[in-house]
Structure 1
Amino acid sequence: MNAKSSSAVTRVAAGTEPSAVKSARRTLEVLEFFAARHSAATVSEVAEALDYPQSSTSMLLRTLESLGYLMQEGGSRRYRPTLRVMLLGTWMHDELFGQASLFSNMAQLRLRTGQAVLVGLRQGIHVRFILSLPSVKANALRYPVGVMRPVCLSAAGKMLLTRESDREVQRIARRANAQAATPQERVDVSALLNEVRESRERGWAESVNYPQRGFANLSTLLPAIAGQPHMGITLGMRLEVLEARRATLLDALESAVRMLVPD
């Protein structure tokens, strides 16, 4: 039985299932579709394979993209899963097959530093964190998985901007300023550009008194992965921790990244 006929049978068996159940089922079926396909697909291809209406398929894929589970290939209309999908079951992989994954490396970094560890990717003028491991400290901030931060303010965002040209950094900053909800979210475009240039040169970025006063972030880039957007890894901490341990934390951050570079 092919994917299309299987989906149709499932829908008939489901009968008059509640809309929330239907949405959950379709979300899982889309992820399973990509798991079986092993390649990107257009809205039409997904709709045809799963026998969904074109309009609701388009809406579902856009929603999964906005949540960081799917991405559109550059300049095309084709969608493919991001690493956020893989991370859903990484802890099980570690439990069954050993400590050799992104998740386990990030967990080790958390234990080594005691700080929150986050992995994020850029979505327009924001960074969405697709992995978040909380600090072991009782007075630390909590960063929920899926939380979004302004790309021009967060340390991860500044590092992700290092992958863009100076002209593109300025364009993104102006767009972010135009959409800023509060004056605190606006940035000095020239100052940001200088900071991005410096971060590009030294290989790391930081943000202080952000996302709240008295807190800070330290970030660098993860190794590039074919078919995936650039991602940044971040340590979140209290500001006094950054000021007292910057060199040690940077060493831990860079060591974790080196562990992920293929031999």
Structure 2
Amino acid sequence: MTNPLTTRKAPKETNVKTALRVIEIIEIYAKECRPLALSELAKLLNAPMSSCLALIRTLVSLGYLYETNRRAGYYPTGRLLAMAQKISAADPVLERIYPSLEELRNITNETVVIGKLNSNHKVLYLEVLPSLNPIHYVAIAGEQKEINANSLGKALFSTLNDNDKEDVLASIPFHAFNKKTLSGKAAFIQDIKASLERGWFANFGESMPDVGALAWPVALSGSHYAISIAGPLYRIQANLEDFAQKLRVISTFIENSA
């Protein structure tokens, strides 16, 4: 006899899986940057050819993919970029503060990132303004980072109440990315206290050996965000106090103007 509860759940689970597959296809193209044949996509997705074909046909019919040549593979059209740009331009938070982030990027000539804690207690990069310097920190919006090895994560952690801090600390795996990564709860808490006293949160090669970053939290519309200046470690350390001052000035301006 069929279980009615199982029957009702099946369509929803299928829809979620399909939505996930579409996102995975987009991420695969972002990584591969080349036309992909159906068989390649199916392999990269670890999905049956039949279900992959159905997804591809749907995306082609909606104008998000096109066949570059017969049997040569499929590639995204400009429609995907156009939709993404339209969505990004209307972001209720970024729309107001983007000029300030852009100014911070220009006066430091380093990459500027704004982020927020997401529900799984990781830092979500909401926007990345890359430096115009040929050698600079490279990141993309949508990336997620571990709190303990990220300047934004430390800044955001400092804004939590005591109960939320305990919940986050219990969930942090404290992965050791290298020898500079903070090794545990006690070291992390001590770093947060020192950061608040000196007026900036830092990541000096804790996630990537040659990358440094400074961050400071910002309160916007009743929620907490954080802004960072990131770049080659030697440049961040050489301009430490200057960058920290500029970061705090811009952060204060954003809060007062919101």
Q: TM-score, normalised by structure 1?
A: 0.57
Name the residue aligned to 1:118.
113
Counterpart mapping for 1:44-193 below 5 A: 88-89=88-89, 101-123=96-118, 124-165=120-161, 168-177=164-173, 180=175, 187-193=183-189
CA, structure 1 residues 190+167, in 2 after alignment: closer, same or farther (shift >3 Å)? farther
Amino acid at match of 2:89: G
Counterparts of 1:186 and 1:195 in 2: how far apart (Å)? 9
Counterparts of 1:127 and 1:253 in 2: how far apart (Å)? 19
Counterparts of 1:217 and 1:233 in 2: how far apart (Å)? 10
Asked if 2 retains the 8 angstrom alpha-carbon contact of 1:150 and 1:157, the reply is yes
Q: TM-score, normalised by structure 2?
A: 0.58
In structure 1, the residue corresponding to 2:207 is in which secondary structure? coil
In structure 2, the residue corresponding to 1:146 is in which secondary structure? coil
- Residue 175 of structure 1 deviates from its aligned partner by 1.7
Counterparts of 1:160 and 1:107 in 2: how far apart (Å)? 21
Amino acid at match of 1:164: L
1:130-167 deviation digits (Å, cap 9, x = unpaired): 01100112121211011111011100100111112456
Counterparts of 1:111 and 1:105 in 2: how far apart (Å)? 10
Structure with larger Rg: 2
Name the residue aligned to 2:249.
255
CA, structure 1 residues 165+106, in 2 after alignment: closer, same or farther (shift >3 Å)? same
Name the residue aligned to 1:34.
none
Asked if 1 retains the 8 angstrom alpha-carbon contact of 2:201 and 2:214, the reply is yes
Between stretches 212-221 and 195-204, larger displacement belongs to 195-204
Structure 1 gap segments, 5+ residues each: 1-18, 25-84, 95-99
Between stretches 202-211 and 155-164, larger displacement belongs to 202-211
| Count of equivalent residues | 174
- Residue 90 of structure 1 deviates from its aligned partner by 5.5
Structure 2 gap segments, 5+ residues each: 1-17, 24-84
RMSD: 3.2
Identity within the alignment, %: 16
From 213, 219, 223, the counterpart of 1:217:
213
1:185-228 deviation digits (Å, cap 9, x = unpaired): 773110001111222333320011143111111000113422xx
Asked if 2 retains the 8 angstrom alpha-carbon contact of 1:87 and 1:131, the reply is no
